[in-house]
Amino acid sequence: MLSLGLQRIFAAVFMSLMALSPAMASDLMFGSLQFRATIGSMPSSAAYLSITNNGAMADRLLAVESSLAHKTELHTMEVTNGVMKMRQIDGGIAIPAGKTVQLAPGGLHVMLIRLKAPLNADESYRVTLVFEKAGKVKLTGLAKRPADLKMPSSHSSDAHSSDAHSSDAHSSGSHSMDMPKSN
């Protein structure tokens, strides 16, 4: 049995360590999550949002879990020799302290590959963002017609933290698609 003095020391050390712990989901704010609605039997879609880190420590979006698709990947769009190419991002997306990162059409985004069902415009869908420090954060957003997709704004959403979420296993691998650059 520990003496009362030793218990107080352990409690003080524990509280100090908690104050130094990594960023929590409460340090992150999310702009409205939007999905690209599918047309016909499109096999894939994308999700967009903004992530603002109000904490003092950087975090990293490692993955996105979703029951909407067989596979999800973090992607970026790059222009190489006049051709726009979509590339999978290895190692996640950095979310610097005090900064906002936009996942938007034509840039960083979440790819939903081999959809299990169409994403209908104006219907709500859910994903779970997996962060290195903040853990899992569930978000719900609307599917929008491609013409109606807007850049996400930096305000709070219906996010909440969760450590328990069942999802499909995601295989890793490269996925790239060459698309002509629009003028």
- Phi, psi (5° rounding) for residue 10? -60, -40
User: What whole-number distance in Å separates Cα of residue 47 and Cα of residue 112?
Assistant: 8
Least confident of 103-107, 116-120, 159-163: 159-163
168: Cα separation from own chain's centroid: 16
Q: Given pLDDT bands bounded at 50, 70 and 90, which one contains residue 10?
A: low
pLDDT at 93 over 80: yes
pTM for this one? 0.70
Domain 23-180 in CATH 1.10.357.10? The answer is: no
β-pairing, 93-95 with 100-103? unpaired
User: What whole-number distance in Å separates Cα of residue 133 and Cα of residue 166?
Assistant: 19
More confident residue, 180 or 122: 122
Average pLDDT on 27-49 reads 95
Average pLDDT on 163-179 reads 32
Query: In the prediction, which pLDDT does 8 show?
Result: 63
pLDDT at 154 over 60: no
**pLDDT per position as a tens digit, 64-92:** 999 999 999 999 998 889 998 999 999 99
pLDDT at 173 over 50: no
For 9-68, the DSSP string reads HHHHHHHHHHHTSPPPGGGEEEPPPEEE---TT-SEEEEEEEEEE-SSS-EEEEEEE-SS
Could you say which DSSP state residue 146 is in? G
